[in-house]
Structure 1
Amino acid sequence: MRPEAVEAMLPFLTEDFGNPSGSHPSARRARRAVDEAREAMAQVCGCEPGEIVFTSGGTEADNHAVFGIVERRGGSVVCSAVEHHAVLEPVEALGGRVVPVDEHGVIDLDALAAALDDSVTLVSVMLANNEVGTIQPLSEIAEIVRRRAPDAAFHSDAVQALTWLDVAGLCSPVDLLSLSAHKFGGPKGVGLLMVRSGVEPAPRLLGGGQERERRSGTHNVAGIVAMSVAAQSALRERTEVVRRVGRLRDRLADGLRLVPDAIETGVPLRDGVPDRSGKITGNCHFCFPGIEAEALLFLLEESGIHASAASACTSGAQDPSHVLAAMGVPRRAAKGSLRLSLGRETTDVDVELALEAVPAAVERLRMFR
């Protein structure tokens, strides 16, 4: 967590532990803090404060968007094949339509148009992919949705994006937007769903109606305040962080491309040069055919490198991800996938360590094929 976010939340875990739904002085201070955080997050999202619904994180926000719209409007739902499971599984549970992507993870716009009709009430396409970092063309998608399914709401899971992209600008065409605090230096367990006026998905949590009857449950005041502070810091630092981390990411990726048979996932070549402009700066994703990701992660952990093979939000066995399958990555290559995430605290020393450890680990594992 960002130190300023930790500092901001501490008073609401100690002396100001009031319930913002109450009427005594401590409760009023808590309510004021929630209201100020709501105003700050509205600026981050490019919306009105009343369009912010605080949630327990991105999964709840995504589920609320998908199930809530269908419960309110009926109809069918559409999403891309590379969505986070928090969107993909609700869409599949509702019998929705899943649209393919190209080899770089970008949604097939012609296939999207073909999947839309007057029966569609929600389209969900993420801003930036959580595994391979691909950025989706939301403005072009919005135009197709408005033309082919004019009554559909447009939702975007932007959980992965805030540190790296202008979320307010890029998501201006969307009706619903999901964010999660821990992706930009806030605490785990708090997030939001932005809901434009007039959209109004049905509530998923019923009870006290604390979020203007759109979501019930006592506010996580400390988490909400910390999220707003972290988001404002992320916005202030974004230009410099993207510049500095971009240099580190490119150095890392260029070095890993030298590993025999390495595949840099989702990155096209332009005149023989990798073009990483279509993915977020903090993502470096490779596939190394002929090895097992689980064994690679074990060796990297021994070297002090904490990485992942697929989404860090899923549990269980290290199976090749649905994202790589949708992109057409062969299973033999996908089984050797590696995601290295960079952030504002990543240093040249970290990159140098990875450039030493990853090639050595891949070579060691290939010796035992």
Structure 2
Amino acid sequence: MEVYFDNSATTRSLDSVAKLVLKMMTEEYGNPSARHIMGVKAEQAVKQAAQDIAATLKVKDKEILFTSGGSESNNMALIGTALANKRGGNHIIASSIEHPSVYNTLSYLEELGFRVTYLKVDEKGHVDMDMLKNSICPETILVSIMYVNNEIGAAEPVEEIGKLIHTINPNIIFHVDGIQAYGKYIIRPKKQGIQLLSASAHKFHGPKGVGFLYIDEKVKIKPFIYGGGQQKNLRSGTENVPGIAGMGLAAKEAYTNFEEKRDHLCQLKDYMLERIKEIEGTYANSYPGLESAPQVVSISFEGVRSEVLLHALEDRGIYVSSGSACSSNHPDVSGTLQGIGVKRSLLDATLRFSFGRFNTKGEIDYCIDVLKELLPVLRRYQRG
């Protein structure tokens, strides 16, 4: 039996998406900047994708910028906005458990002279709202908070954060890394006070190598890719038409029968959290209900290293993650797990199980049975 529980790293593309991508690569493969009919068809595909994505967010299609994926979207949001608004101040606020594509970008901005405040989180991974309130100062120009944490699934109260920020200073720009949230939550940037939102197609059953950044039309932002002036001079370069078309379809599919798809993920998460209690020495770092995303379950296993358990599960056809697949193949000790207060002995003993629309409860039953078989052996071996 093969069980893929690493959907937060990447998802299997929908068959309909793969079919469309192939069509755009082999039949309607024109350059969208070309003036002949092949170019027009490609341009229409890009426009359709923008319209379909914008419809899921209730925003204007001109506010959707296509990128190469989540990391570029986050880089564009942070660097582009900081540089365009530096006359207003040099202070940025973020949570202490941001994804590396945010955290490392902020480190780069610090090298350029920007000052960054990192907010503490509680044991469930939620930002300290009092610290956020007290950190905002006249020099604050940007706040960046992830919607859903990629390691433990903590869901931040983004609407509450947006309201707090703009009550204190309506000129502060609020960026949300929505890469693990898009397709799992109903997101309404205008209502939630979000002015920049990052997303990546391969997290919601679309193709790899393509993403988008929602940019409120009132936000000032500078490009960092220059060339032929595509996408209103914000991101030059020929658009990835097959990827963009595939992402547009995946986005539309994600929000068709949305509640049914979300309920399926919630049921899987709750079932996993309940069944894992049957195994001694296991500790959940994710929570049922709305405090945690429906697709992510983080579990610490006492007495066994995560990498050892990961490969033991792999040998039985079960694929999981020992951290963020986006950081590296050999990630350092998780700052997220440290931030929520996980015991030192469990920092290198934690796995992430993340679900997608193709997973079943039967796969969870198989996973639990395998864990019950493996853990006693691995724990004895580790102690020896």
| TM-score bracket for this pair, using the shorter chain length | over 0.9
Pairs within 5 Å for 1:11-30: 11-30=23-42
Matches within 5 A, 1:271-310: 275-310=288-323
Q: Which runs of 5+ in 1 are unaligned?
A: 268-274
CA deviation map 1:156-199 (0-9, x unaligned) = 01111123211236973100000100011100000000000110
Q: Distance in 2 between matches of 1:230 and 1:261?
A: 39
Contact preservation (8 Å) 2:285, 2:299: yes
Distance, in Å, in 2 between the alignment partners of 1:108 and 1:86 is 22
Runs (4 or more) in structure 1 with deviation over 6 Å come to: none
Q: TM-score, normalised by structure 2?
A: 0.91
- Tell me the residue number matched to 1:156: 176
Cα deviation per residue 1:131-162 (whole Å; 9 max; x = unaligned)? 11111101111122113343210000111112
Q: 1:214 aligns with which of 224, 229, 234?
A: 234
TM-superposition CA deviations, 1:283-322 (whole Å, max 9, x none): 1111113221100101000111000011121213243311
Structure 1's 285 and 308: CA in aligned 2 closer, same or farther, altered over 3 A?
same
Cα distance between partner residues in 1 of 2:205 and 2:323: 21
Select which of 103, 107, 117 maps to 2:127.
107
C-alpha distance in structure 1 between counterparts of 2:281 and 2:72, whole Å: 39
User: How many residues were matched structurally?
Assistant: 362
Q: Which has the higher contact order (CA 8 A, sep 6+)?
A: 2
Equivalent residue letter for 1:92 = S
1:80 is aligned to: 95
Instruction: Say whether the 8 Å CA contact 2:76–2:223 is kept in structure 1.
Output: yes
Q: 1:288 to 1:168 in 2, by over 3 A?
A: same
Q: How does 1:97-176 map to 2 (within 5 A)?
A: 97-168=117-188, 172-176=192-196
Residue type of the alignment partner of 2:160: E
Q: % of aligned pairs identical? A: 33
- 2:144 and 2:191 map into 1 onto residues whose CA distance is 12
**Mapped contact 1:309–1:339 kept (Cα < 8 A):** yes
1:243 positional shift:
1.7
The one of 189, 196, 199 equivalent to 2:209 is 189
Measured in 1, the distance between the counterparts of 2:290 and 2:73 equals: 28
Residue 241 of structure 1: how far off its partner (Å): 1.7
Deviations 1:191-219 (CA, angstroms, capped at 9, x unpaired): 00000011031101111121101111110
- Any idea what SS the aligned residue of 1:88 has? helix
Counterpart of 2:5 in structure 1 is none
2:83 is the counterpart of 1:68: no
Cα distance between partner residues in 2 of 1:258 and 1:320: 27
Superposition deviation, residue 130 in structure 1:
1.0
Q: Deviations over 1:225-270 (max 9, x none)?
A: 0001011111013211222232222122111123222111043xxx
Match of 2:330 among 303, 317, 320: 317
Return the alpha-carbon distance in structure 1 between the equivalents of residues 57 and 41 of structure 2. Answer: 24
**What is the Cα-based RMSD across aligned positions, in Å?**
1.5
Contact 1:45 1:194 in 2 (8 A): no
